[in-house]
Amino acid sequence: MSDPAALVNGVSEYPVRVTLNGVVRTITVPVERTAADLLRDDLRMTGTRVGCSRGVCGACVVLVDGVPAAACSMFAFQLDGCSVQTIEGLAQGGRLHPVQQAFVDQGAFQCGYCTSGMVLLTKALLEHHPRPDRATIVEWISSNVCRCTGYAQIIAAVEQAALRLAGGDDA
C-alpha cells in the first residue's frame, strides 16, 4: 500500500508544529481535527469563535501566515509550519493593537461574537492595503457577517485604524 513518492502516507495522526501568537507549539492531532477545534479545545484559545462552521460567517477568522482564514475551514494539520495569529495575540503587553483600539473607540461591536474575526480581518486588510478607500474596506468587510452593528461603525473603525497605523493623528 505504501507509495514511496507520496509525501505523507495514509497517516491518521499528524504532528503539528505551529507558531501560535509568537510561541512555538507542538501537538499531535488526528487528521480530521479542524484548526478551530485545535485552537479552541486543545490550545484553549477560545477567542476564536465558531458561528456557522462552514466558512461563511467569518467569526472564526484567524491569520495564517498573515492571510485571513476561517479556522473552521482548515484542518489542524494544515497549520503545521505556519505562523498563526489569533485574537489573543494582538494586544502586546497590555496595550491594545490599533485595530482593537479603533473598534473600541468606534463602538464597532455589540454582542462581540463576530469581533475576533472582524478585528483580524481588518488587520489583514490594512496589511494588504495600508490606505484603503471606502470601496476596498466595504469589499473586505463583506467577507464576514455581523448581525448586530449594521457595519457602519465597523467601517469607521477600519478607517480610524488605517489612519493610526499610517501614523496620522486625526481622530
CA atoms within 13 A on the CB side of 26: 1
| Closest distance to another protein from the beta carbon of 35 (Å) | 10
Of the pair 77, 162, the CB lying nearest another protein is at 77
| Closest distance to another protein from the beta carbon of 121 (Å) | 6
| Closest distance to another protein from the beta carbon of 24 (Å) | 21
Of the pair 20, 75, the CB lying nearest another protein is at 75
Exposed, middle or buried, 141 (CB in 10 Å: 0-12/13-18/19+)? buried
Of the pair 65, 166, the CB lying nearest another protein is at 65
| Closest distance to another protein from the beta carbon of 79 (Å) | 12
Nearest CA among 61, 38, 39 for reference residue 51: 61
Of the pair 94, 167, the CB lying nearest another protein is at 94
Grid cell locating 49: 469563535
- Tell me the C-alpha distance between 80 and 87, whole Å: 19
Of the pair 86, 160, the CB lying nearest another protein is at 86
Nearest CA among 127, 136, 135 for reference residue 165: 127
> Backbone phi, then psi, for 68, in 5-degree steps?
-70, 130
- Tell me the C-alpha distance between 72 and 59, whole Å: 9
CA angle 79, 84, 90 (to 5 degrees): 165
For residue 115, which amino acid is it? T
| Closest distance to another protein from the beta carbon of 69 (Å) | 6
